[in-house]
Chain A
Amino acid sequence: MYPEDLKYTKEHEWVRVVGNKAIVGITEFAQDQLGDVVFIELPEVGEKVKQFESFGTIESVKAVSDLYAPVSGEVIKVNDALEDEPERVNKDPYGEGWMLEIEIKNPAELNNLISAKEYEAYIKDQAK
């Protein structure tokens, strides 16, 4: 449920690090909590995002929530398909439901993220 090759934030984003790039999405837990996603607002390519600051908005049938950047850097790709098919986030949060690709500005920031095991423990703790 929480792929071990990814890093996570406590705000339920995942990051796949490929070289100096970070691919970002939200976790299985987050999509399940939100319910059917109906709308996603993402930044434009070229915009700069800051670690743990809001980079966009996700709306489900239940709530509008902010999305938080797991790392700082420039947005180099955006998953435009989510505009018409936001439900991809529900169906395949770690695959077709990816949101952004960020060029990592400071690799040391990756140390502020948590592992799959830590994330799973964090969720269990939250559910208590």
Chain B
Amino acid sequence: MAIDEAILWSCQEGQVPPTLRFYTWNHPTLSVGYSQKVSKEFDITTCQKLKYPIVRRITGGRAVLHDQEVTYSVVISQVDPLFSRSVLQAYRNLATGLLVGCRILGVNAQMATKPQGKPLQSHRSPVCFSSTSWYEILVEGKKLIGSAQKRFQNALLQQGSILMEFNPQRWRDILRVKSTTLLEQLVQYTTSLKDHIPEGISREKVISAMIRGFEQVHGITFQETDLTVLEWERAHYLYRTKYSQDTWNYRL
């Protein structure tokens, strides 16, 4: 999370180009959306027992358990053609890359369209994969990739999770309110690559397909690089002052 924000910060200043990043986690980790109330929605004691660290994102959306998945992030600035001042257009631009990536993997994914006449939800589910919204990546109506954005005037960060496998039991363990409806919804609305590629697939292949998806759709060629010294410095600083702090992660 600190690295994503360091890239965003550096891209906003024009120090680094637009960046597509893929990563995995050392330990299964629960990331929560910018405004989520962690202690109200999750059983923190169980998370600690299971050794699932909790980290807050700067992007919106709901909680993701980063376990059997690939996490991606995209940072683009206003000078990049993929950037749009329209939230939905920017989502769409990025979703098309992910969509083609899925198809390269042989998964017949679709982009979710704007739900018509959907009532406003006053009680939202705390879990990202239990509901779908515009331009998310679905297979047979179930969510495969969940994404969230943080927007600035001159740049945006989109973070998302591509599910390799899905285990609803893990959610049962860590949710504070173990609502059967919510768990049923999760099962009903979530899918993973394992459901569509029964022979299994490596993370490397998934990442390579997504990169090719973006390249094909947008006519671009990525250059694989490590972070710059500046990005590392900023990432360490952000980790030290923000992402390792309970004041940020738990909003204490």
Binding site for B on A (CB under 8 A): 11, 33-36, 38-39, 41, 57, 59-66, 68, 87, 90-91, 126-127
Contacts and interface: CB of A to CB of B under 8 A. Distances in A.
A33 B58 CA distance: 19
A64 B149 contact: yes
A87 B122 contact: yes
A57 B151 CA distance: 10
B35 A59 contact: yes
Contacts of A57: 34
Given A11-B153, A35-B134, A38-B35, A63 B120 contact: no
B60 A60 contact: yes
Interface string B50-62: 0000000011110
Interface string B134-154: 100000000000001111110
A57 B58 CA distance: 11
B86 A36 contact: no
Contact of A63 (B121, B122, B151, B153): B151
Interface in B168-196: none
Nearest to A38: B124
B34 A59 contact: yes
A13 to B, nearest CB: 12
A87 B133 CA distance: 17
B79 interface: no
B34 A36 contact: no
B59 A36 contact: no
Contact of A66 (B60, B149, B152): B152
A61 B120 contact: no
Interface in B41-79: 58-61
Contacts of B59: 63-64
Interface centre among A41, A59, A62, A66 (most CB of B within 10 A): A62
Given A33-B86, A39-B35, A90-B120, A59 B153 contact: no
Contacts of A65: 87, 150-151
Contact of B149 (A39, A41, A63): A63
Interface residues of B, number: 25
A35 B133 contact: yes
A18 to B, nearest CB: 28
B152 A61 contact: no
B35 A127 contact: no
B87 A59 contact: no
B33 interface: yes
Given A62-B60, A64-B59, A126-B85, A36 B153 contact: no
B91 interface: yes
A36 B151 contact: no
B88 interface: yes
Contacts of B151: 63-66
B119 to A, nearest CB: 10
Contact of B150 (A34, A61, A64, A126): A64
Interface string B85-100: 1111001000000000
Contacts of A127: 86
A33 B61 CA distance: 15
A61 B61 contact: yes
Contacts of B60: 38-39, 59-64
Nearest to B85: A126
Contact of A126 (B33, B86, B121, B134): B86
A34 B121 CA distance: 14
